[in-house]
Amino acid sequence: MKFLELIFFIFFCLVSFGFTEAQTQQKYTGSISVTEKRIADAKEEYKKTKRFPTEWKLFYKGKEGDFVVFYDWNGQEIHYRYRRNKFDLDGEEFVKDLFQGNPYFIQGEWTGYYFYSLDSRGRRKVLPEKKNLPAKEEEFIDLHTVPIFKLIRYQEIFTDELLY
């Protein structure tokens, strides 16, 4: 009887070890691939091509004023204007289905950027300056600069993988 229990225990350990190893090899990382283009990469490309992508796969963060905020894997943000002012009820209706943390495919029209300049002591200012296009290269490629878009369309990204 003890021999049978020992064999069962060894078999159970081997099966569970093999299962956990298979899980680590195929770890689910989310609906947006880790290799997807990041905002910092697009800013570097802007130096060469003077063009910034208008379509993104990003995660939804929340609303800030007249903007909805999305972020990439690095945590860098893009702001999308979804309404003209706080009385624009059509804009509110347009973004009512967004859910924090969910991945989205977003299309927008690039309109400008927020630039956090340095004060007289060399520290970043708390409030950004809104800049319009064309973007100044040295300002726009700064890590703290936040691109601003007009939101045209968004679509939630669903996974094709089975999660268990």
pLDDT tens digits along 69-80: 999 999 999 999
- Structure tokens, 118: 């340095």
Residue 3 forms part of a structural domain: no
pLDDT at 146: 94
User: Which of helix, strand or coil describes residue 10?
Assistant: helix
**102 found inside a domain:** yes
Q: Residue 61, SS3?
A: strand
Average pLDDT over residues 11-38: 65
Cβ–Cβ < 8 Å for 81, 150:
yes
- Position 11 confidence tier, pLDDT thresholds 50, 70, 90: low
Question: Burial of 1 by CB count in 10 Å (0-12 exposed, 13-18 middle, 19+ buried)?
Answer: exposed
Residue 54 within a domain: yes
> What is the number of structural domains in the chain?
1
Asked if the structure places residue 107 within a domain, the reply is yes
Residue predicted with more confidence, 74 or 160? 74
In a domain, 25, yes or no: no
Residue ranges making up the domain that contains 96: 39-156
123 assigned to some structural domain:
yes
Q: Within a domain: residue 10?
A: no
Beta bridge partners of 109: 150
Report which DSSP code applies to 127.
S
Question: Which strand (E) or helix (H) includes residue 109?
Answer: strand 103-115
The pLDDT of residue 163: 57
Widest distance between CA atoms in the chain: 81
Confidence class for position 125, pLDDT limits 50, 70, 90: confident
Burial 8-34 (b: 16+ CB within 10 A, else e): eeeeeeeeeeeeeeeeeeeeeeebbee
Rounded Cα distance between 22 and 29, Å, is 15
